[in-house]
Amino acid sequence: MVKHVAFLLGSVVLLVTSATDAATYGMCVPDEGLTLYAATSARSTQSGPLNRGARITVTEEKGRWAHINYVKGKKTQEAWTLLGALVPCEQETANATHFHPFGRPIGEVKAGVLLENAGYDCMYDPGLRFCRWVGYCYRPTGLNVPRYRGQFVADERIPEGQRAEPDDYFGLYKKDLTGFDRGHMAPDASLKAFGMTAQEETYRLSNITPQYSLTNQGFWRELEANIRSWSTTSSPICVETGPVFFPQKRIERRGRNQVAIPHAYYAIVAQGSPPNTIAFLVPNEPFRHGWSEAKNFLIAIDEIERLTGLDFFPNLSPDVQSAIESSPAAELWEP
């Protein structure tokens, strides 16, 4: 099985595709660095740096990474060799995470703004007052990092009048849970590996929607927990999630900044390469659903694309996209 890995070489982020099942996540380049050689002919070699965002395929040989193919655009340079061994990272680095191994979602968002954060990124839609899609990856590291306990704040990267403010959510919560929570799209509990700052950034209101309390505290919470349970150290989970608005249904809004209330939410989960996928469409409604009903919410990725106008996994070939997107998952994944 092929794994995707991102690590730091000095200040340069490299995305690595590993052809082994080795536990490569959490591995970094040692302080003394590594040497890269490329065979330019049968008798000569040359060394040189890799560019930012370079893709390389690697195989493991006697504890070392060797036999590297360096991919630049559509051209593959052959017979690269990496001399040296990766070492365990002391701490996860958010810049070492690649949130979209198969490409960011593509689709027109009027006046959309790409917002990059320590543990996730998202495409902000000023008309909604939150993001149309959010991408993050999860792996079970940083489990002992304490949870962030702070305040929801306006995303100051967005101009006033085009963003949600904390008072837009005042009065929406009801003690009987018939009202709304401030629902995360990138969940703070899934980003603990990247430290307190990454968790704090999930409380920016660009990442928050008015989500019915019974949805947020019911099925959606269970879905997020199950997504975390599907991940392993060597095989992380990458997630695309966001709001859905049905074409024939009126969009309700709340607050002085007219924050839209989603009709539903999608969650697309990918693991491995080519990816195994499972996708859900969860209604935003004042009813509690449990994980026992999860099969009712399975949906084809093609259908999510139709509803949202987005194209997911654009870097995959049309054949692979068709294979993983045309039908709902046959079964739920096991933890």
> In the prediction, which pLDDT does 142 show?
62
pTM of the model: 0.72
Please provide the DSSP assignment of 177-243 as one string.
S-SEEEEESS-GGGGGGGHHHHHHHTTBGGGEEEEEHHHIIIIIHHHHHHHHHH-BTTB-EEEEEEE
- Measured CA to CA, the distance from residue 326 to residue 157 in angstroms comes to 37
Least confident of 15-29, 74-88, 99-113, 297-311: 15-29
- Give strand pairing partners of 280: 267, 298
Instruction: Give per-residue pLDDT as tens, 64-101.
Output: 333 444 444 444 444 344 444 433 333 333 433 468 98
Which amino acid type is present at position 191?
L
The full set of domains in the chain, from first to last, is: 3-88 (no CATH), 94-325 (3.40.570.10)
Q: Each residue of 22-53: pLDDT tens digit?
A: 222 233 344 444 444 444 444 444 444 434 33
| Residue 115 to residues 118, 135, 259, 324, Cα–Cα distance (Å) | 10, 11, 18, 28
68, 89 contact by CB (below 8 A): no
d(CA 271, CA 137): 10
Lateral strand order in the sheet of 45-47: 3-9, 12-18, 55-61, 64-72, 75-83, 35-39, 45-47
